[in-house]
């Protein structure tokens, strides 16, 4: 069996005590790396000028990390990845910054990663590159003579052609994808946008899954990522999940809990969500005092100004809403700026009558799937989901909303609160079936099968 070599911006190191706490993606990759005796490469998250590769083996998984210099982190990670590609790929042209230094730093770090990894590759290794930080990695490895099968998976949306052309180096960037054997997207919609670009902008030819451009044929597929549903459901029986559930029920004092869980990111639609919730408070006076919103949103990427701005804006907005509507024994929004363990989240999801997941744009959104997994089959809550989350392609029985419309959000909350048990069960069942059959192990096997099915590169 070929070894699996995973390359991603950040590497998770397994902890043997509680691997499940590290997220479905990491757990699934650990299992594959163990089985295929692979290595997971990436940035250590540390800054230094050393380019030494640090190998570690924990719980049977080998990881290899390098440090980056402060300048590299600024240009590659905070710069091109998070100030240029992230906003643009999430349809935020207005927020995308285009600096030559960022682009140069991005290329340089990708070359450092390629140079470092190349020395450790064996000829039959399967190489799997992840996400927007490393788009040109395949081409960089090919330029260094690597003939292995190389796959790429994009965790975020692929933007429509007209948006993408606002990126100064769009053509070079897309052309680098033709160095891979398999390119995976979360949804059919992002795959369609990719097809549109390569067909109409590059003049490539498309034949089913295969795309040919300048003599190279790649396979481009939609391969939606899932959660480890079985593990997530099992974790609901843990002491931590049960005690969190009880704590939520007690502290709710008979009110219905609406929950939102997101990284604090402008793509998650938190301001619009608060505005929609305020519309509900405003238009459903009696009912409104019988619910509250728990929004969990730990800050991320705080080196980037737009993330500091959104944090300030949300502090102000939640304060204003609470100031205007709270009573002596009730606040409409409990706003918590820290992350929680997965078992704790499981207990919270289970106690929540509504999961309010309304990103403006999201590659997939695993929180929506976790919310579904955590529900009581006999008395499930209602998922209100943005039509612009990748997950909406699979979770069609959710109440799908336009996250930009405060009225839409307010009406969906009202409808969810009124929804009879029979309808809640009828909607929840097919969603649960979907996340159970198309879980993270299905996703991983599907992508790897596609790579194995490709002919060896000449």
Residue with smaller CB distance to ligand ADQ, 60 or 298 = 298
Listed in sequence order, the residues at least 6 apart from 191 whose beta carbon sits closer than 8 Å to its beta carbon are: 158, 185, 220, 221, 222
98 carries an active-site annotation: no
* Nearest to ligand ADQ of 121, 351 (CB atom): 351
Q: Which of 90, 130, 133, 155 is catalytic?
A: 155
Closest-CA residue to 300 (of 78, 25, 8):
78
End-to-end CA distance of the chain: 20
Q: Least distance to ligand ADQ from the beta carbon of 99, Å? A: 23
Pick between residue 20 and residue 339 the one whose CB is nearest to ligand ADQ.
339
Identified catalytic residue from 265, 362, 408, 439: 362
Q: Which two tokens stand for residue 218?
A: 């790649």
Q: How far is the CB of 212 from ligand ADQ (least distance, A)?
A: 28
In sequence order, the β-bridge partners of residue 44 are: none
What does the binding site for ligand ADQ look like in residue numbers (CB under 6 A)? 23, 155-156, 225, 261-263, 296-298, 339-340, 345, 362-367, 370
User: Which structure tokens are listed for 442?
Assistant: 């299905």
C-beta of 69 vs 365, nearer to ligand ADQ? 365
Tokens of 415: 């409808």
Q: Which of 358, 337, 373 is nearest to 416 (CA)?
A: 358
362 catalytic per annotation: yes
Q: In the complex, what is the shortest distance from the CB of residue 207 to ligand ADQ, in angstroms, rounded to a whole number?
A: 28
Rounded least distance, CB 306 to ligand ADQ, Å = 15
Angle at 295 between CA 417 and CA 437, to 5 degrees: 70
**Residue number, 356 or 419, with CB nearest to ligand ADQ:** 356
Query: Which pairs count as long-range contacts for 1-4, CB under 8 Å and 24+ apart, including other chains?
Result: 1/35, 1/36, 1/37, 2/36, 2/124, 2/125, 2/126, 3/36, 3/37, 3/38, 3/39, 3/122, 3/124, 3/125, 3/126, 4/32, 4/33, 4/36, 4/38, 4/125, 4/126, 4/128, 4/448
Q: How far is the CB of 341 from ligand ADQ (least distance, A)?
A: 8
**Catalytic residue ranges:** 155, 362
């Amino acid at each position: 069996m070929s070894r699996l070599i995973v390359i991603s911006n950040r590497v998770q190191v397994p902890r043997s005590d509680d691997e499940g706490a590290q997220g479905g993606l990491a757990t699934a990759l650990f299992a594959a790396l163990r089985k295929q005796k692979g290595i997971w490469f990436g940035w250590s998250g540390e800054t230094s000028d050393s380019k030494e590769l640090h190998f570690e083996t924990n719980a049977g998984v080998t990881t290899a990390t390098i440090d980056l210099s402060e300048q590299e982190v600024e240009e590659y990670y905070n710069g091109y990845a998070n100030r240029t590609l992230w906003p643009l790929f999430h349809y935020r042209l207005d927020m995308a910054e285009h600096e030559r230094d960022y682009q140069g730093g991005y290329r340089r770090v990708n070359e450092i990663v390629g140079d470092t990894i190349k020395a450790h590759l064996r000829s039959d290794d399967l190489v799997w590159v992840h996400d927007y930080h490393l788009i040109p990695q395949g081409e960089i490895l090919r330029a260094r003579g690597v003939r292995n099968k190389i796959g790429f998976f994009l965790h975020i949306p692929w933007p429509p052609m007209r948006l993408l052309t606002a990126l100064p180096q769009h053509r070079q960037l897309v052309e680098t994808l033709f160095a891979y054997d398999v390119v995976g997207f979360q949804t059919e919609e992002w795959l369609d946008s990719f097809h549109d670009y390569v067909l109409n902008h590059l003049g490539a030819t498309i034949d089913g899954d295969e795309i040919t451009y300048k003599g190279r044929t790649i396979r481009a597929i939609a391969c939606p990522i899932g959660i480890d549903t079985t593990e997530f459901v099992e974790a609901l029986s843990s002491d931590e999940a049960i005690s969190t559930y009880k704590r939520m029920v007690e502290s709710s004092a008979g009110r219905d809990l609406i929950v939102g869980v997101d990284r604090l990111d402008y793509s998650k639609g938190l301001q619009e969500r608060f505005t929609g919730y305020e519309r509900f408070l405003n238009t459903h006076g009696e009912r409104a005092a019988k619910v509250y919103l728990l929004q969990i949103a730990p800050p991320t990427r705080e080196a980037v100004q737009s993330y500091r701005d959104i944090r300030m804006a949300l502090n102000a907005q939640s304060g204003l809403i609470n100031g205007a509507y709270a009573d002596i024994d009730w606040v409409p929004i409990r706003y918590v700026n820290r992350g929680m363990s997965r078992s704790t989240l499981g207990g919270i999801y289970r106690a929540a009558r509504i999961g309010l997941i309304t990103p403006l744009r999201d590659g997939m959104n695993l929180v929506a799937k976790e919310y579904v997994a955590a529900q009581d089959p006999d008395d499930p809550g209602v998922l209100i989901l943005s039509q612009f989350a990748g997950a909406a392609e699979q979770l069609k029985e959710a109440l799908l909303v336009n996250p930009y419309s405060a009225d839409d959000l307010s009406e969906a909350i009202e409808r969810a609160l009124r929804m009879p048990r029979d309808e809640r069960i009828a909607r929840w069942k097919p969603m649960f079936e979907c996340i159970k059959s198309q879980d993270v192990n299905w996703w991983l096997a599907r992508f790897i099968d596609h790579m194995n099915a490709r002919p060896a590169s000449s």
